[in-house]
Structure 1
């Protein structure tokens, strides 16, 4: 299967780099939260309407940790990344019975291949002002991905809007530091475990793209996405095993939201969506020019 997992991010660092050390004091990982802006800072009516997202840069690579430790709050960074998904264990106390519940969520991170500080501002507002430059905003949040659906899509309408959600499997193009090896099974130190060869990000499409997705996609469909990273807070439901209390735990989730989707294999309809997506893009251009 063809591989594509690419993200280009220009963002404002919202706090100094957090570095976690192991038991002997060596750096284990580094995390940088950033704020990026979506392209198209004006809405279809021509009103100034910038939209912001808050992805997280994460690495366990020693070279990249060394680079990231020098990044400071209010720096504007340019980073070429791949998307990775990582299971995170957490403990939650039931508010009703006090039971400690062990839960695991899958978190999507940006794994930087390179990172560079391109501007340092004295304040967060000044740093955000830098992102509002049209040429910066146009490329501030860019994702290109080839993946295969792991489930059938779901479709939701709310008001005059609609959304399609699904999950994709994306083959890794490079080795991600911290990935587990299956050397205990195969003796091959360079062979990753099966579950470490792919990542599984969620996709949320909107509008006409969502309608096309729902009509054409199914489990096993292979697609190419040109889009951006979309972060939003989601309430996860957890059932206490002791008292069956439903607990809602809010977490920030990162989705891929497509500008367009190209349907490559195993889709429901035979009509090429290169034409469909071109129609969408042409229609959007016409609306902007009206």
Structure 2
């Protein structure tokens, strides 16, 4: 599979798989957890779950469903696939009057209504059981012993909008985030996935690299990202359309953490500008 949208993970089974029959055939979903290798395991002080990344894998492929059907809690699997996104009409119940509000109607940020929401997951191309364990901790220890191969992502796409810059930890940790449009070269079976050939994951970069990304990238730029999956919890505010009360809704999302972002094409860079940049590189 071409590495325009490529995910390779070692992950433990945190929720047993579920299956259902659809108009397009049998579908399966399994909850998995992998890790990030940003910190040394033996120096961790907050337990063996440090830097864990939980996500779902979905499939309608018979070969993958056959393997998925055998999975048990704490099995460690090796999986390759791609990031897939699809629109989802997110809703949340008001705790004051119990009315159900749609995100697209109730959630406003910076004066603009937010979208109905997206679901992001990994669609497996290959799946096999690496090891079987009796406990969660034993499975985590195996992941940490193989952390260099546990979580890799390569994506190639165009920015859908200008990058967004922010700061964490009281300004000590700058970050930049941007959304990519990635043309899907592999179209899975079933449902609308045969027609939805573009996926829209978010990418985050941190530190000095994030400042460079923010200064150089813009809408339409073509980039190649070498990174990893990261999971993030978030909270957003809804305003009930019935009683008018505001309430918080919590959620989780799956994103790409960029280790390196390669700028392949910047839309505002004309050929003459490229030559000038090469000539002036030593003088900057």
TM-score (norm 1): 0.79
2:3/2:154 contact within 8 Å kept: no
How far apart, CA to CA, are the structure 1 residues paired with 2:40 and 2:98? 49
Equivalent residue, structure 2, for 1:68: 68
1:41/1:132 contact within 8 Å kept: no
Q: Match of 2:213, SS?
A: helix
Equivalent residue, structure 2, for 1:283: none
Equivalent residue, structure 1, for 2:240: 240
Equivalent residue, structure 2, for 1:115: 127
Over 3 Å counting, the alpha-carbon distance change for 1:53 and 1:268 in structure 2 is farther
Question: 1:147 aligned to 2:145?
Answer: no
Cα RMSD (Å):
2.5
Superposition map of 1:6-21 within 5 A: 6-21=6-21
Q: Match of 1:214, SS?
A: helix
Superposition map of 1:223-238 within 5 A: 223-238=223-238
Over 3 Å counting, the alpha-carbon distance change for 1:88 and 1:258 in structure 2 is same
Structure 2 gaps, min length 5: 104-115
How far apart, CA to CA, are the structure 2 residues paired with 1:3 and 1:113? 13
Aligned residues: 254
Equivalent residue, structure 2, for 1:95: 95
Over 3 Å counting, the alpha-carbon distance change for 1:88 and 1:20 in structure 2 is farther
Map Cα deviations across residues 123-182 of structure 1 (whole Å, 9 max, x no partner): 00011111121xx1001000000010001111111221011111110010111223428x
1:3/1:172 contact within 8 Å kept: no
Structure 1 gaps, min length 5: 182-191, 276-290
Shift, 1:28, TM fit: 3.5
Map Cα deviations across residues 180-206 of structure 1 (whole Å, 9 max, x no partner): 28xxxxxxxxxx54xx11000011111
Equivalent residue, structure 2, for 1:173: 185
TM-score (norm 2): 0.81
2:80/2:125 contact within 8 Å kept: yes
Shift, 1:40, TM fit: 4.3
